[in-house]
Amino acid sequence: MIAEETSEQIEQQNSKIPVGISSCLLGEKVRYDGGHKNNSYIGKTLGQYFDLQAFCPELDIGLGIPRKPIRLSRKGSDVIRCIPVDNPEPDFTDALAKSANEKRQWHSNLCGYILKKDSPSCGMERVKIWDDVMPIREDVGIYAGKMMENFPYLPVEEEGRLGDAVLRENFIQRVFIMRR
């Protein structure tokens, strides 16, 4: 028994750490315009240590490529909804939250998650909310928000913030602690 546990521990130490990531950050052409947001630091440097597991919630809920861009809106309501930029329908809010709930098993096996900033689906913070006047940066993407609600201790960071040495170090430390 002791020998089995030891070999498991050694295997874990030698294997890459499972970390979820927004697909577009790994160069996958899944954005609304058919493009990507490849981040070579994440793919080439962090990818040496992390097993980066890509997921795009907008594709998961059946949106195609290309597709109309979506955004967060509270026009005429206190409730924030995720809708197309030029139309109040269809409303994708519930589908994106459901996508996060359906991925709970996968999320529970991750030691961290890297999210695409500013996305109404994947953004971690300061995502624009549109109303009648000016957009304000104060919310979180629908998929990301539900995942963080379900797993409040999961280390999460945005690709933009990983450019900051202190924040990057902090995130990497949290991922390694989560692994342990």
Binding footprint of ligand SF4 on the chain (CB under 6 A): 22-24, 30-31, 56-58, 116, 119, 121-122
Q: Which CB atom, from 22 or from 39, has the smaller least distance to ligand SF4? A: 22
- Min dist. Cβ of residue 99 to ligand SF4 (A): 10
- SS3 annotation, 148-160: HHHCCCCCEEECC
- Min dist. Cβ of residue 174 to ligand SF4 (A): 21
Over the Cα atoms of the chain, what is R_g?
18
**Residue in the structure block whose two tokens are 């597709």:** 67
Q: Which CB atom, from 23 or from 39, has the smaller least distance to ligand SF4? A: 23
Nearest to 51 by CA among 15, 23, 7: 15
- Min dist. Cβ of residue 87 to ligand SF4 (A): 18
Both structure tokens of 58: 């907008």
Q: Which CB atom, from 23 or from 111, has the smaller least distance to ligand SF4? A: 23
- Min dist. Cβ of residue 40 to ligand SF4 (A): 16
- Min dist. Cβ of residue 92 to ligand SF4 (A): 10
Q: Which CB atom, from 35 or from 88, has the smaller least distance to ligand SF4? A: 35
Q: Which CB atom, from 56 or from 97, has the smaller least distance to ligand SF4? A: 56
Sequence letter at residue 146: K
Q: What is the largest CA-CA distance in the chain?
A: 65
Both structure tokens of 57: 């919630």
Q: Which CB atom, from 160 or from 176, has the smaller least distance to ligand SF4? A: 160
- Compute the half-sphere exposure of residue 163: CA atoms within 13 Å on the CB side of its CA: 6
Cα–Cα distance measured from residue 89 to residue 87, given in angstroms and rounded to the nearest whole number = 5
- Min dist. Cβ of residue 12 to ligand SF4 (A): 28
Decide if 132 contacts 75 (C-beta within 8 A): yes
